[in-house]
Amino acid sequence: MSALPPAIPAAVVLLSGGLDSYTAAAIVRDEGFALCALTIAYGQVHDRERDAARAVARSLGVLQHLELPVDLAAIGGSALTGASPVPKDRSFGRTEIPPTYVPARNTVFLALALAWAEVLRASDIVIGINALDYSGYPDCRPAFIQAFERLAGLATKAGVEGARFRIRAPLLDLSKADIIRRGVDLGLDYGLTHSCYDPSPDGSYCGHCDSCVLRARGFAEAGLRDPLVKRWNR
């Protein structure tokens, strides 16, 4: 991967195939950026996210789509990589970090995005994290984004030479309903996305994991129908 022509303002976007990263990418594209998408196969127990990420990348018209394997399942510690069952029908009033937390995932993902951004000479990195409707993950907080942005300036050749990296989290203060409304306003097809932590082999949503519950609540509060609702089978 080589640097992009300087006339093209480009952003590296972490693209999972979920509705949050899709919306975050579309917001930045609407601001005039070309997109270079990074999808990380981190050892999750199913491949539906990667299939969705490819569809979403095509929909967004990205300049490049890099799929990078990083086996976090070898480290373990998360239900999303098979260390334990995915919890269902969990109460959102609880304060403990759930077993779907993947140890240091966003730190690892942003580090890889930063490395690629430095090669591309892109100053903007986009991540679709959200501090309101989230499952209690510590790496979805504003303080984490601020700290990583400072790190980016210290840890890279480009930063030492005066470049300033911006970690863009345009969904940070939005509810799930607001995220969905914004995406619909941008003309996004949420039928391309995938959200379920524990889909059946045919891709049907479980309807009971944190991600399914948050997605369903977001569409309901937005007054909209989820285009994937027919695939919720349990």
Residue 117 sits in a domain whose CATH number is: 3.40.50.620
Within-domain flag for 88: yes
Within-domain flag for 222: no
State pLDDT tens for residues 49-104: 999 999 999 999 999 999 999 999 999 999 999 999 999 988 776 678 889 999 99
DSSP state, residue 98: P
pLDDT of 233 over the 60 cut: no
Percentage, residues of the chain above pLDDT 90: 79
Number of domains the chain is built from? 1
pTM attached to this predicted model: 0.93
CA–CA dist 198, 73 (Å, integer): 16
Residue 184 neighbours by CB under 8 Å, 6+ apart: 190, 222, 224
Within-domain flag for 226: no
pLDDT at 184 (0 to 100): 98
Residue with tokens 């501090």: 131
pLDDT of 3 over the 80 cut: no
Within-domain flag for 81: yes
Within-domain flag for 58: yes
pLDDT of 196 over the 70 cut: yes
Measuring CA to CA, which residue among 103, 40, 49, 44 is closest to residue 75? 103
pLDDT at 228 (0 to 100): 87
Of 29-33, 61-65, 180-184, 202-206, the one with minimum mean pLDDT is 202-206
Please report which confidence band the pLDDT of residue 166 belongs to, taking 50, 70 and 90 as the band edges: very high
Within 10 angstroms of residue 182's Cβ, the number of other Cβ atoms is 19
Within-domain flag for 176: yes
Within-domain flag for 149: yes
pLDDT of 232 over the 60 cut: no
Please report which confidence band the pLDDT of residue 132 belongs to, taking 50, 70 and 90 as the band edges: confident
Within-domain flag for 172: yes
Q: Summarize the confidence of residues 19-45 as an average pLDDT.
A: 96
pLDDT of 6 over the 80 cut: no
Range of the domain at 102: 10-195
